[in-house]
Amino acid sequence: MIIPNTDSSGKIVQRISDTFGKLQKNDYPAMPAGTGCRSLVQRFYALQAERVEAYRLFEEGHEAYLRTAPHYDFQHYRQLVHEITLAFSGISKELIEMKEHLHEECERPDLSEHIEKLQEKERHKLELTAKLQLAKQNVVDHPEDESGPELVQELRQKIIKTVEAISEILQDFKYDSEELA
């Protein structure tokens, strides 16, 4: 029996935990009253950077998980998914609060709308990412299935289109928030 090298996937899970450890359930405090609109815009960009890093670590962790085939290190992968879920949940919760704050207190429904659109596209990207990971595992598990690589490519293209849509929303947000920055 081959014992997989779990070292790399375990290290990735630890890096995710270290990077996003602050993103525990309800760990984000409520948005303080009087939070400046400018600081909200700056925080928005910081949250987007955290989300990008979470995706990078998620992909890296999944690749490490696939390298443990055929005796997958599911324990570390499950921990990875848990940590990433906490990270995305914390980011999303803060963005929802930010969206409301921008709309109500900053009187910027345009920026609030951009965040709402962004959240929807990010949700779609996460769903596609999960499907892509399953498709990649299927390719590893069933190399004789010729439709597997095609599905992987199709999902990658959908993710690229979704990332392009996200980039457009970010550009619109940047343009509409310039006077606050």
pLDDT for 33-61, tens place per residue?
Answer: 556 899 999 999 999 999 999 999 999 99
Task: Find the distance separating the first CA and the last CA of the chain, reported in whole Å.
Answer: 59
Please provide the average confidence, as pLDDT, over all residues in the chain: 87
Please state the pTM of the whole predicted model.
0.83
Model confidence at 6: pLDDT above 90: no
